[in-house]
């Protein structure tokens, strides 16, 4: 069970992009509002909503999450595969949520401004969609994942939750393991990413357990709101 401190931190989490276009459908409504989001973020990363709806005849979709140190940046890529071979791509970027120095409180909504999601969208044509699917296949993005892999909040990693033609899949990659290094899709997604926030690329750091709560770049030391995800045989393990 999460601590109250963890819930408070996660309440300032991801705001997913909202689209009026038919090809870019909304992601899980449970993470739309900041307060409710704190109870659903882990479920969102695990793709629980995708898995629950994954059956033959339903829309194929893929959700990729790039955790580039939780306090620094999170990027999400929602891919909605269309029957005509194209795909809708929703992009979301949450940046600098660990920096509380620029909070304004002139109105009730201003206090959450530093944690609001910047977002973008693209429509991938048939060739682009096929190319992306090839890159995902080459990266073993549809599973199975490595059972027991740990994903700390203060590390670099990717997760991929997918439903293709009624088949559920999950994968995870932790930097700097071979799986992360061999990811083929990252640079292509970054190239398509039209959100005006530079990608926070992986860099060499001390192991996460040595940095937990004592990062010299953190505004607070000894924090109790850290979290860890653990991968199971076909998805995230229950928390």
Assign 226 a pLDDT band (cuts: 50, 70, 90). Answer: confident
Contacts of 104 (CB under 8 A, 6+ apart): 110, 111, 113
pLDDT higher than 50, residue 21:
no
Q: What are the tens digits of pLDDT across the range 191-206?
A: 999 999 999 999 988 7
Q: Alpha helix (H) ranges present in the chain? A: 4-10, 34-37, 41-46, 48-52, 126-138, 178-181, 186-192, 208-211
Lowest-pLDDT range, 113-117, 132-136, 158-162, 216-220?
A: 216-220
**Under 8 Å between Cβ of 197 and 114:** no
Listing DSSP states for 136-192 in one string gives HHHTTTTS---TT-EEETTSEEEEEEEEETTEEEEEEEETTSHHHHT-SSHHHHHHH
Q: Check whether 212 has a pLDDT greater than 80.
A: no
Q: Where are the domains of the chain?
A: 4-198
What is the sign, positive or negative, of the torsion defined by CA atoms of 10, 73, 120, 144? Answer: negative
């Amino acid at each position: 069970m999460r601590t109250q401190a963890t819930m408070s931190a996660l309440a300032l989490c991801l705001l997913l992009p909202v689209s009026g276009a038919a090809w870019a459908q909304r992601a899980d409504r449970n993470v739309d509002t900041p307060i409710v989001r704190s109870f659903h973020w882990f479920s969102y990363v695990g793709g629980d909503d995708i898995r629950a709806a994954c059956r033959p005849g339903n829309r194929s979709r893929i959700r990729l999450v790039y955790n580039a140190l939780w306090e620094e940046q999170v990027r999400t890529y929602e891919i909605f595969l269309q029957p005509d071979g194209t795909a809708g791509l929703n992009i979301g970027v949450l940046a600098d949520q660990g920096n509380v120095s620029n909070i304004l409180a002139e109105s009730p909504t201003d206090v959450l401004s530093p944690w609001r999601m910047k977002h973008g969208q693209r429509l991938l044509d048939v060739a682009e969609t096929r190319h992306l699917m090839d890159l995902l296949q080459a990266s073993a993005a549809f599973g199975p994942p490595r059972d027991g892999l740990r994903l700390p909040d203060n590390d670099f990693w990717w997760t991929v939750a997918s439903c293709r033609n009624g088949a559920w899949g999950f994968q995870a990659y932790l930097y700097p393991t071979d799986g992360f290094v061999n990811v083929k899709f990252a640079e292509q997604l970054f190239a398509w990413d039209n959100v005006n926030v530079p990608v926070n690329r992986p860099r060499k750091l001390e192991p996460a357990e040595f940095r937990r709560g004592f990062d010299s770049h953190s505004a607070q030391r000894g924090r109790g709101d850290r979290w860890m995800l653990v991968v199971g045989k076909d998805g995230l393990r229950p928390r």
